Amino acid sequence: MKTAYGSLFVTVNDDESGAPFEVFATIGKAGGFFSAKSEAICRLASLALRSGIAVEDIIGQLKGIRGPMPSFGTNGTKIFSLPDAIAKVLERHSKGEQAQLELHTTSSAHASEPADPVMNIVSTASASMADYGYAPDCPSCGGVLEMGEGCQLCRSCGYSKC
């Protein structure tokens, strides 16, 4: 899943009965703070799942948490933060929609099937921040920042970040 912090790769493992019991996340090339944050969220979510807490309760706690740089996912969904992205993956997994998230599973039933990667290509000639998955809010007024003259601009209050 594309986030404002890089590509987030989430793996959800199910137990024998098909219920999720383990969550792993890797944030592409970011390392440091973002990797630590996603690992902590997944460890706690996995602990909660193994302790019998319903996946819907975990989703309810994580979904909607806002970060400083929201983004648009590949399906047009607004991703507010890393916890929100993990919650959305868990929610889709619990509904059986994980194939739409471009996730690669390694269950024994599908181990012999080749992966079918999906590539997203954006033309740089007319690309906006949204084309790259970014939809940052203005830190001054909360409006949407736009790319202009090589800077992030807020048309509402005049904020500029170059």
Q: Which pTM was predicted?
A: 0.60
pLDDT of residue 134: 53
Tell which wins on pLDDT, 137 or 158: 158
Model confidence pLDDT, tens digit, residues 90-124: 999 998 876 443 333 333 333 343 333 333 333 33
Phi, psi of 149, rounded to the nearest 5 degrees: 55, 35
20, 91, 101 from 97: Cα distances, Å: 13, 9, 7
Give the span between the Cα atoms of 9 and 104, in whole angstroms.
9
pLDDT of residue 108: 36
Grouping H, G, I as helix, E, B as strand and the rest as coil, residue 12 is strand
| Strands (DSSP E) found in the chain | 2-3, 6-14, 20-27, 71-72, 78-79, 145-148, 151-154, 160-161
* Cβ neighbourhood burial of 107 (10 Å; 0-12, 13-18, 19+): exposed
Angle at 62 between CA 59 and CA 64, to 5 degrees: 105
Give the span between the Cα atoms of 32 and 14, in whole angstroms.
28
Give the span between the Cα atoms of 111 and 20, in whole angstroms.
19
Give the span between the Cα atoms of 54 and 68, in whole angstroms.
29
Tokens of 27: 């944030």
23 pLDDT more than 70 = yes
Residue with tokens 């920042």: 145
